[in-house]
Structure 1
Amino acid sequence: MSTLDVAKKDFLDVRRAKIVWFVGALYVLFMLLLIYAGQTGSQDPNILYSLWNLTAVGAMFIPLIALVTAYLAIAGERESGGIKYLLSIPNARRDVVLGKFITRTGVVSASIVVAFLVSAVLTLLWYPETRIDVLGGMMALTVLYALTYVAVAIGISAATASRSRAMGGSIAFFFVTSVLNVLGPLQLVIDYVANDLAGLEISTNQIAFVQSLVSPTAAYVNSTGLVFPDGFNTIPEELPWFLQGETMVVVMLGWLVVPLALGIWQFERADLG
């Protein structure tokens, strides 16, 4: 078997997980409600504001979809003993990790793409200006954002030997990088550590960059300047290079590659009994 063989087998398993499809369908529903709400009560509705609100919802909801879909991918197999079957076929351990990542990536990406495609159709029906370019750009950024959390979940799953540890690690990561980021404490912590404790006297923009490095959610929110018009809503018209949307995409790509690589490294060293 190869990476693709593992992915095909894993898809047969994951498609039976009702919680995965439920969470994905819930995101589609949330998005459709936002698109609908954005055009009610307005004679000249603007799809950009609906998509802007979607960014805030997606910042919290997308990680849940990704983590629920992927956190048991390998840890569940290890606890049940199924991992020994996968490795006896034979498969390299790297094949198992990458195959699981491909499958979970496909499932998460499919729910996001379906949500945006249906929204595009409704936008054509309900809004005077469709802005398909912004819709397409947001879809691409949202898929990339989701994949960073899939990679993190797969990495955690590969590095842990039980369901409870995989769940605990995923919840902790979500709380620190998403919940604390959206609610604000993460930025305050970085400011306190860098300026009050270390005395570095770094600027607000530099704090925002550090925040993006430690949180895929922050990088995702900051990357939206790539698709929304300059100065739209709270997007500044001028930003330093390290907060530009292109830099944020690179940061998200790093969040996609590094946790996956660490997961493979840890899984290859693990004693599977």
Structure 2
Amino acid sequence: MSTLSVAKKDFLDVRRAKVVWFVAGIYTLFMVLLFYFGQRNVPEPRVESQLFAITGIGALVIPLIALVSAYLAIAGERESGSIKYLLSLPNTRRSVVLGKFLTRSAVVTGAIVFSFALAAVMALAWYPSLEADVFAGVVALTILYALTYVAVAIGISAATASRSRAMGGAIGFFFVTNVLTMLPGFSIIAAFEYVFNSLLDLGVSQDGLEFIRALLSPTMAYTYSTALAFPDSMNGIPEDIPWYLQGEVMVVVLLAWLVVPIALGLWRFGRADLG
């Protein structure tokens, strides 16, 4: 019950955070524009095409929504000292972390569901078919992807004692998992390839390096997982990829990113000296 009480109190705070709604509004705007212009002057517009495009945009925008909504959830209260009041009630440190995660997850999920609901209305009005199976698959995978970044942000917030450190941790995580794993040539994966293949001569395949990339980046895991939602003809992922790059495995990777940061945050916050 204390977890729910923390979540209810926290919801009153996070719903007033204008920056969260601003970033979420940008995502919704992209969604509306894609579905509007996707059917303009097109003889047979396809919902699949717009959903495929929005997964690419969401791969970059959704981490921002999730991180912005959650990175100060605990660190902000620790810096202001209000965490002592929160813990003076019959709340444990565990209930604080889990309650904050529930609240921020609900806010981010609500923003995503609202965006896709608008898209569904537009699809029913302007497109020949909603293509409900693809639509539902993309929504489910996108929500799971968003929750991984909420979990990371909560974990960072629970492990840090100040706003500046939490912000630095969130920015650093986004930079490493999105920028340094995506850029060709200059990236963490290029460094791994140099060490494994040039220095150690281990002969790690490109598929193996891609698996490392997916392990290091929820964004890459999400990208591979979307193969579960789209037909083979348009998901852009080769059909002959090894089993460890298949969509089902990528869902497991995303679930790991959902659980591990929260567990680490619980461990670190439980050991923290709150003064």
Task: Please report the TM-score for the alignment, with normalisation by the length of structure 1.
Answer: 0.96
Code of the aligned partner of 1:221: T
Letter in 1 for 2:265: G
Say which is worse superposed, 44-53 or 163-172, in terms of deviation: 44-53
1:198/1:170 CA distance change after superposition, 3 Å = farther
Instruction: Report what 1:231 is aligned to.
Output: 233
Residue number in structure 2 paired with 1:66: 66
Which aligned segments of 4 or more residues in structure 1 are displaced greater than 4 angstroms?
none
Q: Contact 1:20–1:68 (CA<8 Å) still a contact in 2?
A: yes
Residue 169 (structure 1) aligns with? 169
Could you say if the C-alpha distance between residues 14 and 205 of structure 1 is closer, same or farther in structure 2, counting changes exceeding 3 Å? same
Quick check: 35-44 or 208-217, which moved more?
35-44
TM-score in terms of structure 2 length: 0.95
Q: Distance in 2 between matches of 1:217 and 1:200?
A: 27
Partner of 1:26: 26
Alignment partner of 2:215 out of 190, 209, 213: 213
The aligned length equals 273
Assess if the C-alpha contact under 8 Å between 2:227 and 2:235 holds in 1.
no
Which residue is 1:250 aligned to? 252
Q: Structure 2: where are the runs of 5+ without partners?
A: none
Separation of aligned partners in 2, 1:54 and 1:61? 10
Contact 2:97–2:154 (CA under 8 A) maintained in structure 1: yes
Q: Is the 8 A contact 1:190 1:211 kept in 2?
A: no
- Residue 272 of structure 1 and its aligned partner are, at CA, apart by 0.5
Structure 2 Cα separation of the partners of residues 70 and 197 of structure 1 = 40
Distance between the aligned counterparts of 2:255 and 2:153, measured in 1?
A: 15
Which residue matches 1:146?
A: 146
One-letter identity of the residue aligned with 1:234: G
Which residue in 2 is equivalent to 1:122?
A: 122
- 1:198-218: per-residue Cα shift (whole Å, max 9, x none)? 322111111111111110000
1:198 counterpart letter in structure 2: L
Deviations 1:178-212 (A, max 9, x none): 23334443443332233223322111111111111
Q: Contact conserved, 1:155 with 1:260, CA < 8 A, in 2? A: yes
Write out per-residue CA displacement over residues 64-111 of structure 1, whole angstroms, 9 at most, x where no aligned residue: 000000000000000000100011113110000000000000000000
1:188 and 1:120 map into 2 onto residues whose CA distance is 40
Q: Any conservation in 2 of the 1:93–1:268 contact (CA below 8 Å)? A: yes
Q: Distance in 2 between matches of 1:192 and 1:86?
A: 49
Once the two structures are TM-superposed, the CA of residue 52 in structure 1 deviates from its matched residue by 1.3
Question: Does the residue aligned with 2:20 lie in a helix, a strand or coil?
Answer: helix
Aligned counterparts of 1:45 and 1:79: Cα–Cα separation in 2: 52
Which amino acid letter does the alignment assign opposite residue 34 of structure 2? Answer: L
The structure-2 alpha-carbon separation of the partners of 1:161 and 1:135, relative to structure 1 and needing over 3 Å to count, comes to same
Question: Structure 1 CA distance, aligned partners of 2:143 and 2:199?
Answer: 37
Which residue identity is paired with 1:138?
V
Distance 1:120 1:156, change over 3 A: same
Shift of 1:233: 4.7
Distance 1:251 1:58, change over 3 A: same
Give identity over the alignment, percent. 63
Q: Which amino acid aligns with 1:251?
A: V
1:136 matches 2:133:
no
Counterparts of 1:198 and 1:172 in 2: how far apart (Å)?
Answer: 29
1:245 is matched by which residue type in structure 2?
A: G
Equivalence map 1:198-209=2 (5 Å): 198-209=200-211
Describe the SS at the equivalent of 1:43: coil
Letter in 2 for 1:38: G
Q: Any unmatched runs of 5+ in structure 1?
A: none
